[in-house]
Amino acid sequence: MARRFAMAIAAAGCALAGLACWRAPLRGIDFGSDRDPFRNEGHVDADEIRSDPVYRLVLIGDAGEPARDDATLALLGEWSNAHPKRTGVVFLGDNLYPAGLQYTGSARARGEAVLLQQIRATRARELFIPGNHDWGWTTFQRSSRGVLLNQQVFVESHGATFAPKHGCPGPVAVELLRTSKAVAGGLTVLALDLNWWLLPEAERPVCEGIASTDDFITRLRDELQQRRAENVVVVAHHPIRSGGPHGGYTRGFWTDLGVSLYYRAYSVQDLVEPHYEEMVKVLGKVLAENPPLAMVGGHDHSLQIIDGGSEARLVVVSGAASNVTGVTSIDGTLFAHAHKGFVVFDFHRAKKNRDGVLLVNVVETGRGKKPVFSLALDLAHEKAPPQPVSPKKVPAP
């Protein structure tokens, strides 16, 4: 009897351990803020980066819990205000924790103050896209009616753009740089709200011309096809790849186990969840038909640059404006660090081709004005691999 009991306990332990490991399959080195970041080495020089950029795109996510005199937003101001008329800033969702912009009272006042901190941090053009917390998402609530609209109205009343609107998935095309002799492909941002996809169908807002995920995919495919000759950056709060906790990186055995059990009744919007996994699979196929320059997200609180493979030139995770969580390297990782900061795309005129050069910079709070990691992409050759650039060669903003 005692032996049977011991065997039962052992079997239950193995089952629980398996459940926790399924929930968090990534168990590599945690490149936290207390250690050096992961870098894919092999630095080269790029002469084109010594001139001012033709256009700058700043990608900053999960900024919804700033400090009173927030150092990351101050650094954002330095980078974006260097050339404000030639700069766009994309706030990648979760613009307001814990549950979006409420209707009244102290929660409303605090929410407006937090959003104003972000809006006033820069004089550049601003685009806010929604994240799950902006929908009113909490531990036991997928959304709260009207909360997302509250933020949309408030942001746009202060001169910034909010897209996609009304809880619809998009895509919404925002042209930031027209095609020109300086950068032949220009720059267009395609904004998505993938939280719409992750909701049960009965809870999705009614959107004109989009009755199902198939309708959304058709629109996304059409936009990418029409803009295949342009430099397209697809932005969404939810990433398609990540080495952070939402990508499956361990939160610790007991937390992984708790999340695994909790998931049976609800969702924490991790990439390993079947619904999210299916979304990434479908999106990946569409992106691979006409790969954009980058697929950018937040959600995980870290800074990651990943080779995009067949789906994009690069996959970027930039969700470390307010908080940081663990991150490890995965297949294709070029840079990973759990440290506050953001990612900057600088589009430069090239001496040898009319398509230009993209310089990707990772900028970290408290690490000086220069980037901690940079790489260059030759925009004239879609198959050209990213070329790491020594940060010493990159001028301050």
Average pLDDT over residues 166-192: 93
In angstroms, rounded to a whole number, what is the distance separating the alpha carbons of residues 267 and 269? 5
Q: What is the pLDDT of residue 203?
A: 87
Cβ-Cβ contacts under 8 Å for 54 (sequence gap 6 or more): 86, 177, 180, 182, 183, 347, 348, 349, 356
Cβ-Cβ contacts under 8 Å for 122 (sequence gap 6 or more): 58, 76, 77, 80, 81, 84, 87, 89
Pairing of strands 294-297, 314-318: parallel
Q: What is the pLDDT of residues 344-397, one digit of tens each?
A: 999 998 766 677 889 999 999 999 888 999 998 888 766 667 776 766 667 677
Element holding 280 (H helix, E strand): helix 274-289
Starting at the edge strand found earlier in the chain, the sheet holding 357-364 runs: 161-162, 125-128, 87-91, 55-60, 341-348, 357-364, 373-378, 387-389
pLDDT of 298 > 90? The answer is: yes
Q: What is the pLDDT of residues 7-31, one digit of tens each?
A: 444 444 444 445 555 566 667 777 7
Q: What is the pLDDT of residue 158?
A: 97
Element holding 317 (H helix, E strand): strand 314-318
In angstroms, rounded to a whole number, what is the distance separating the alpha carbons of residues 298 and 360? 16
Tokens (6 digits) for 36: 């050096």
Q: What is the pLDDT of residues 122-160, one digit of tens each?
A: 999 999 999 999 998 765 555 566 899 999 999 999 999
In 3D space, the residue among 249, 330, 318, 396 whose CA is nearest the CA of residue 38 turns out to be 330
Residue with tokens 């972000």: 118
* CB burial readout 250-285, b (16+ within 10 A) else e: bbeeeebbebbeebeeebbbbbbbeebeebbebbbe
Q: What is the pLDDT of residue 131?
A: 95
Residue type, 357: V
In angstroms, rounded to a whole number, what is the distance separating the alpha carbons of residues 393 and 326? 29
In angstroms, rounded to a whole number, what is the distance separating the alpha carbons of residues 194 and 172? 12
Average pLDDT over all residues of the chain:
85
Residue with tokens 């300086």: 182
Its pTM stands at 0.87
Tokens (6 digits) for 298: 């937040």
Pairing of strands 314-318, 303-307: antiparallel
| DSSP-assigned states of every residue in 223-238 | HHHHTTTS-EEEE-SS
Q: What is the pLDDT of residue 143?
A: 56
Tokens (6 digits) for 4: 């049977």
Q: What is the pLDDT of residue 45?
A: 38
Biggest CA-to-CA distance, the chain: 82
Q: What is the pLDDT of residues 226-270, one digit of tens each?
A: 999 999 999 999 999 999 888 887 666 656 666 665 555 566 788
